Chain A
Amino acid sequence: MAHKSSRRLRSPTTEAPAARYTLMALAFLFLTLFLLLPLVAVFIEAFRKGTAEFLAAFGDPDTLAAIRLTLLVAVIAVPLNLVFGVAAAWAIAKFEFKGKAFLTTLIDLPFSVSPVISGLVYVLLFGAGSVLGPWLKSHGIEILFAVPGIVLATIFVTFPFVARELIPLMQEQGTGDEEAALSLGASGWQTFWYVTLPNIKWGLLYGVLLCNARAMGEFGAVSVVSGHIRGLTNTMPLHVEILYNEYNFVAAFAVASLLAALALVTLIVKTALELHYGAEIAAGRKH
C-alpha cells in the first residue's frame, strides 16, 4: 500500500537550508553595516545631545537660508527636467527616427559624469577665464557663485531622471492608444492630457520623486559652483559640510537628518508606488 515518504527530498531549485541561511545572514549583515547603520547614525548623532540642541540647529538663520535655497533650487530644476523628460520620452517612444539610440545615450550622459565635473563645466563656461566671463561681469550678471549657477548644476545632474523612467514605460505602451484617440477626433494636446498622461502618471511621479531627491541632495556639482557663501549660496548639503568641518556635529547631523528624512520619504513613496502600481512603472525598472 501507499506509504508516507520518510526522507524529505529538497526541491532541485533551492539551496540546502544551511546555504540559504548563510547567504541571508551575509546579505543582512552587509546591508546593515553599509546601508542601515549609516542611516540610523544620522538620527542618533542628531539627537545625541537631546531634542533642544537638535531644534536649536534650526534657529540659526544660515541654516534656514540653506533650507530655503535648497527648496528654491528644487522648485526650479525639477519642473524644467519634468517638461524635458516628458518631451524627450514622447519623441523617443512614439517615433522612429535616425539617431534615436544616440540621443538616448546622450540623455544618460550626466549619470556617467562625476558631479565635480558637472560643476566644473559651468565654471569653465561662466568663470573669470572663460569667453563669457568678462562679458557677464561687465553686464553685472552673476551666474557662478550665485543662485543661477547652483540651479544650472542641479539641472545638469538631475537631467536624466524623469526621461529615463518614462522612455521604457512609454515604449512598452506603444502608440495604439494615441492613434485610437486621434482617430476619434482628439487633438494632439487632448490626446496627451486624456490618454497618454493617465497612462504614465505613476511612472512620472516616480521619476519626479527621484529627480527631486537628487536635486535637494546634490553636493559635488553644487559645491564647485556655489562659492560657499553662508546665508546666500549654501544649500543644505553644503551647509552640512560647513557645520561638520566646524566640528558642530549636532547641527551638521540635525540638518543631515532632514535630508535623510526626505530620502526615507522618497523610498517609502517609491516602494508604495511599486507595490500598488508595479505593472504601470515596471518598464522603468528594467533599465
Chain B
Amino acid sequence: MDVSVKNLRKEFDRYPALHDVSLDIRSGELIALLGPSGSGKTTLLRLIAGLEQPTLGSIHFGDEDASHKTVQERNIGFVFQHYALFRHMTVADNIAFGLTVRPRGERPPKAEIRRRVSELLEMVQLSGLEKRYPNQLSGGQRQRVALARAMAIEPRVLLLDEPFGALDAKVRKELRRWLREFHDRTGHTTVFVTHDQEEALELADRVVVMSQGKIEQVGSSDDVYDRPNSPFVFSFIGDSASVPVSIVDGSVRFRGDEIGVAAPEGDIVSGEATLFFRPQDVAVVTDPSAPALEGRVVTSRRLAGTRIADLDIGGADDPLHVEIEVPLDAQAANGTSIRFRPLRFKLFAK
C-alpha cells in the first residue's frame, strides 16, 4: 500500500512540531524516519497512524484520502516504543485482541482466531508461549509479541516507534536483522522511527532524515551518507569535520591561505562557505611547499585498524578542532604538526 503525506503541518499549543512535510512511501518499502529528538519524526509517525490529527495537510493510503479516518478505521499496525502489551492478558489474548474486538459480523470464529494466533506466533518464533503473561517475557520476546499483535489485523501499513529503543545492544542487533528478514518475507509497507543512524542505514530501503520539524533529505543509505544535501545531514550522519572557508575564483581558502582544494565546477564560485569532509576522506600531504590544511596534534587515539588524530588547525589564538584519520605509520605524536587535504568534501554556502 502506497502512503503519501502532503503538506503536513502539526502544531501543539501553537508550537509547530512539523512544518509542511510531504513524503511518498512506495508499497512494500521499508522506510526509516531518522532524526534527533524533537525533530518531529515520532509526530509524523503518529499522524500517519491517526493517533494525532494534523493541523493542516492530508494523508493518503493508496488513492484514498485517510485524513478524516479515525485510528480504528485506518487499519494500521502500530508497534509502540514500550510495546504497550496488555499485561493482564496472555500472549495469545494480546495477539487475538484486534480480531476479538471486531463487530460480530466481521469477527472470525474462535477456532479461526486460534489458528491465526498460532500462525503469527510461529512467524515471530514464539510458539509455545501462548499462555505466558507479558511480565514473564524478555524484552526481545515482548517486542515480537507486539509485532505479532499488530500483524494480526492484517494492517495496510506497519508503523514502528523506536522499535529497538528499549533493548540492550546485543538483542537489538539480532532483532534488527530479524526484522529485515521479516519484512522481506511479508512485504509490508513499513515505517519505523529511530534516532540511531546505524540502525536506519543498515535496515531501511530509504532513510528520511528529519530536523526541527522538517525533512532534510530522503534517500538510500548511500545517498544520505555519501551525498548529504545539507550541513545538518552531513554532520548528523557519520563522523565529519567542518571548516569555515572562503572561496575566491573557485579556489577554497582557509583564513586567506589556499589549501589545495578547488570548488567543483558549477558549485560556488566565490563567497563564504563551510567545508565538510569525513575523517577518512583525507590525504596527508608530505610536500611542505604544497598548499594544505595544517594542524597541531592535540591528541590521537587508536581506533580498530586506524588512528584518529584530533588536530587544532586554528592555532592558539583561535583554536579550531577537526578529527582526521591518519595512517598507522604516520607521525602523530602530540604537539607535532600534520598537513592534510580533504579528498572528498562538500561545500555549503553560508
Contacts and interface: CB of A to CB of B under 8 A. Distances in A.
Given A2-B7, A2-B9, A12 B53 contact: no
Interface string B195-233: 000000000000000000000000000000000000000
B290 interface: no
Contacts of B173: none
B68 A2 contact: no
Contacts of B163: none
Interface in A1-20: 1-12
Contact of B7 (A1, A5, A9): A1
A5 B7 CA distance: 13
A11 B46 CA distance: 11
Interface in B39-59: 50-58
A2 B53 contact: no
Contact of A7 (B9, B51, B58, B68): B68
Contacts of A5: 53-56, 67-68
A12 B70 CA distance: 8
B268 interface: no
Nearest to A10: B70
Contacts of A4: 56
Contacts of A1: 7
A5 B59 CA distance: 11
Contacts of B71: 12
Contacts of B7: 1-2
Nearest to B9: A2
Most buried by B among A2, A6, A10, A12: A2
Nearest to B56: A2
A8 B54 CA distance: 10
Contacts of A6: 68
B177 interface: no
A179 to B, nearest CB: 30
A1 B7 CA distance: 7
A2 B51 contact: no
Contact of A3 (B52, B56, B70, B72): B56
B6 interface: yes
Interface of B: 6-9, 20, 50-58, 67-68, 70-72
Interface of A: 1-12
